[in-house]
Structure 1
């Protein structure tokens, strides 16, 4: 089971659904929370029921849906208080301007607002409304009040609105909300092994320019680095992800630094290195770059083209030389003699750990959703991690580091 699922396993979550066109996304959100292991109950406003019926959420959640303050189904409980006490995390999604105003000002005039007022559990608010409503000074003030109360407020997405034009105010996708919930719970949890630790992770294949339209690169997708970033975040770390790719969603709660070349990556890594506790060089960094970069597109001629390449800085080796307290993890993507090359790299680069894999295998390596790796550390037996999702591999790598560090 992944660390993300562990955060939500058996967690009692109430999703409060209020009236807006984005209600259709709330059904998928409930499904994804349940898939992540949570026990989910739903409460709806009257307006929300105009878009989706309570039966939809009842079937998904396997719980009755709360809609009426005065519908006391069980005589021994006051329903809205009972739900508030049951809840370990409240998610208001979509959160309309109306319910945000009620929460900010303590108004309780229906089941949802009454139960929320009685809820002492952490609250994640997911605003969704027209951009002009979002930017209204009253809404801005109300959202600021919720943040002051300690509620987590997600930033609305920008895109095509129901009114027919582009703008800010869309409800984020359910996957993003689940990630935000995980991150919020991490912030609320004090005993995570990487709490207070700073982790740098690099991802993707660097690009070395030949001219304005061509470059030298490799097949790395960055997926392993992004999985490591999510896993480190879920274990409590403050994570900086230095990445060459813009094709993957940035993990919620992770500081993101975009780079392209090996030189840019080196600069970004060392800007954070002194304050870091763990550095994971998961990126596939180019070993060579063109000695000169053409200012204009190189035109085709009848002659062969010769490129003169020069070495790039070996970032991992420099980190190994300059590290003090940092725990340094490198990767070795090989196509043959994996153990020999990995052990050699571990010694030459002065790393604390090398994660090696055979990228020629069908279920491992570049552009795959799964991986199979062997972890090498000085004076320790290798750890073989069989084929599984990159998210699961990332967790195993970090737990191996935590065990070595005795965290």
Structure 2
């Protein structure tokens, strides 16, 4: 049986490959091995986490993470090359835009192993983002492109990719989201640490809708700049006088808030990073999400939650064109104005984009089987 390496380097990557694993198991015509590069080691990534995702634990853990971008990428490349030379797969599938995506795509291509890229074609146009470099290089050498939105198709065609290699399939991250929303309905959410905050700010006990906002900030372009962090902090502090905010703080962000001496005030509840299900339970019922996360722009769009993106650009324009996302930049006046629209009931709802229906992984596996297992 033909088999494919499914590469993941960080926790969000596993959420993207999980639907593909489930679809491969259901199809039965392709084998697979889950390769964890160890780019990010999460001590909470244990048996329970993978059981929650509905997938087995990784077949290979390379423990290659840490260090600078170059050091990390180099270690992953060396480890992955040794693996492919010892146990050569028929293809390598990479997801997203992390360093593992880039490193494993380069190694596979140099070994003449076909590369399939899930979330191909996304572009922000911002070359200061490491992720943008990873996307561009990965797409420049991939053989199959699995695309989440129309802009991705347009970018790949403009870059000269063959139409027959480009597949607009929908979004595996949304597959996972819908899978987890269904599972969440059967979980006792009272056990989640943020449940007290959510319960205290619930305004509709029947629907569970909350009168609160959720904040996430982690991109270096925002949190490593004292000037930008102070601007964003002023906006959040002002919004919090009208809407309680809860902020799961990334360690990098927390360190910089302390370093820059930024006090967000008493109306913003700072908590530690959240596991997927507790965080989903929190943001899905929020009045608004304020974020610089790419994935959260998409997930809020899928569930129709108003989202204010604190960035000057986005590689996911469908969330703005069709979804519930607004690109607000980092100027306080614009961020505050968009939040007040939400408070007046004028927040953007939008609609779920085409093919974001929970079946993207099934489409991907069908194409992979045609390419590598001879299915017609």
TM-score by length of 2: 0.33
Point out the structure with max Rg over C-alpha: 1
**Which is richer in helix?**
2
**Which is richer in strand?**
1
Q: Which has the higher contact order (CA 8 A, sep 6+)?
A: 2
